[in-house]
């Protein structure tokens, strides 16, 4: 049975969440750290603000955070290169142009996975 057929049978949409809510993790391709197998509910919500430099991301966050908190939601924010594990080293590597493109991308991936495991996933679990 295909993954899509299994998800339909379980009442899941293509992205892995229940049809009436998005409370599960879903991955396209390989789930390298096997989070999808855990089938855990995540009561928190993830809001991603993206954009190039100087398009107003900080302004939007400055407006969104107080509104969410005044509505009773706990807010946790994280940014690229903010990992305690590799954040400082990544900034130094970028400033000094000391790493090749593949190594630099692996550094960014390490930064993301560390923030995902230590900040994002615990916040989603906590609601």
- Tell me what pLDDT residue 26 has: 64
Instruction: Dig out the tokens for 69 from the structure.
Output: 């908190």
Q: What's the pLDDT tens digit per position in 2-51?
A: 555 666 666 655 455 544 455 566 666 666 666 666 666 778 888 888 88
Among all chains, which residue has been given the structure tokens 């009561």?
A: 43
Count CB neighbours of 13 within 10 A: 16
Bridge partners, residue 37, by sequence: none
* HSE-CB for 76 with a 13 A CA cutoff: 16
Q: How confident is the model at residue 53 (pLDDT cuts 50, 70, 90)?
A: confident
Does the predicted TM-score (pTM) go above 0.85?
A: no
How far apart (Å, rounded) are the C-alpha atoms in residues 6 and 61? 38
- The SS3 of residue 92 is helix
């Amino acid at each position: 049975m295909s993954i899509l057929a299994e998800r339909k049978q379980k009442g899941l949409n293509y992205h892995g969440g229940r049809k009436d809510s998005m409370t599960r993790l879903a991955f396209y391709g390989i789930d390298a750290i096997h989070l999808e197998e855990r089938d855990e509910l995540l009561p928190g919500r993830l809001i991603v603000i993206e954009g190039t430099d100087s398009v107003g991301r900080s302004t939007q966050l400055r407006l969104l955070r107080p509104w969410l908190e005044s509505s009773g939601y706990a807010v946790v924010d994280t940014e690229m290169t903010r990992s305690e594990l590799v954040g400082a080293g990544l900034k130094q590597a970028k400033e000094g142009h000391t790493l090749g493109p593949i190594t630099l991308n692996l550094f960014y991936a390490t930064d993301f996975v560390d923030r995902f495991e230590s900040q994002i996933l615990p916040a989603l679990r906590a609601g």
